[in-house]
């Protein structure tokens, strides 16, 4: 079985927020809930200053602390290694949020709208997918990946900074990239073995 993961090339990322926007559109996440985010940092001094962008999302860890912390087993891993949440089992205790070292989970406390306007038909349709009082997060666009498609954030990345595939397949694009360049994982000291890997 494949071990699905993502490789993000930080040299290519231009901080356009296309991944953030496409994730919201694909998954219909409510206001203030961003399964995909971009962290920004400035480095150096004028005239050699530069801006760095680090896209972050759920790391779909091989040893997820969130799964261990969940008292109802709502958090689970699929055969191909995607970490998912069964909203019907989630009791909203947020133990998984406290356990996640990456801040990748969000609690949906109440239904919200943007400003005071009524939700659009698109929002009404997609907001139904999310249960109030549960925790949610990136699932590598599970419905898409099960059809052999790429996650929305990979598909829409204008700089081609994101790659998705089988980390166990030595001939996959993600595996080849990891052999060619220096790569690192966020917070390796936590022992969670993230499957989102960054190229320096």
- Over the stretch 80-126, which tens digit does the pLDDT of each residue have? 999 999 999 999 999 999 999 999 999 998 777 666 677 778 777 88
CA dihedral 100, 108, 161, 40 (to 10 degrees): -80
Q: What are phi and psi of 138, to 5 degrees?
A: -60, 140
* Burial (Cβ within 10 Å: 0-12, 13-18, ≥19) of residue 190: middle
Region 133-145 average pLDDT? 95
Domains and CATH numbers, the chain: 4-199 (3.30.70.20)
The whole-number pLDDT of residue 114 equals 67
Residue 170 CA to residue 175 CA, distance in Å, equals: 5
Assess whether pLDDT exceeds 90 at residue 128: no
Residue 191 CA to residue 103 CA, distance in Å, equals: 16
Given a contact cutoff of 8 angstroms between Cβ atoms, the answer to whether 198 and 5 are in contact is: no
Structure tokens that stand for 101 in this block: 């070292």
Query: What is the number of H-type helices and E-type strands within the chain?
Result: 7, 10
Q: Which of 26-30, 74-78, 90-94, 171-175 has the lowest mean pLDDT?
A: 26-30
**If you ran DSSP here, which 8-state letter would residue 139 be given?**
-
111: nearest Cα among 124, 92, 94: 124
Sign of the torsion angle spanned by Cα atoms 80, 144, 56, 172: positive
Assess whether pLDDT exceeds 80 at residue 28: yes
The whole-number pLDDT of residue 165 equals 95
Percent of the chain with pLDDT over 90: 78
* Chain-centre distance for alpha carbon 147: 19
Which residues are paired to 39 by β-bridges? Answer: 54
Q: Which residue has the higher pLDDT, 129 or 58?
A: 58
Encode 158-175: b = buried (16+ Cβ within 10 Å), e = exposed: eeebbbbbbbeeeebebb
| pTM listed for this prediction | 0.90
The whole-number pLDDT of residue 121 equals 82
Residue 72 CA to residue 118 CA, distance in Å, equals: 35
């Amino acid at each position: 079985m494949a071990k699905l993961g993502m490789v993000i090339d930080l040299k290519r990322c231009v901080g356009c927020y296309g991944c953030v926007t496409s994730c919201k559109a694909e998954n219909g996440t409510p206001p203030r809930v961003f399964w995909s985010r971009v962290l920004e940092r400035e480095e150096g001094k004028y005239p050699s200053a530069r801006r760095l962008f680090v896209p972050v999302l759920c790391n779909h860890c091989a040893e997820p602390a969130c799964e261990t912390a969940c008292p109802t087993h709502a958090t689970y891993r699929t055969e191909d290694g995607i970490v998912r949440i069964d909203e019907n089992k989630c009791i909203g205790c947020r133990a998984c949020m406290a356990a996640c070292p990456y801040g990748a989970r969000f609690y949906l406390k109440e239904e919200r709208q943007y400003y005071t306007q009524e939700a659009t038909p698109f929002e009404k349709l997609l907001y139904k997918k999310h249960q109030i009082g549960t925790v949610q997060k990136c699932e590598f666009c599970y419905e898409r990946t099960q059809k052999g498609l790429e996650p929305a954030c990979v598909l829409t990345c204008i700089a081609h900074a994101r790659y998705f595939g089988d980390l166990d397949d030595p001939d996959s694009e993600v595996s080849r990239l990891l052999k060619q360049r220096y790569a690192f994982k966020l917070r390796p000291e936590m022992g969670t073995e993230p499957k989102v890997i960054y190229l320096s």
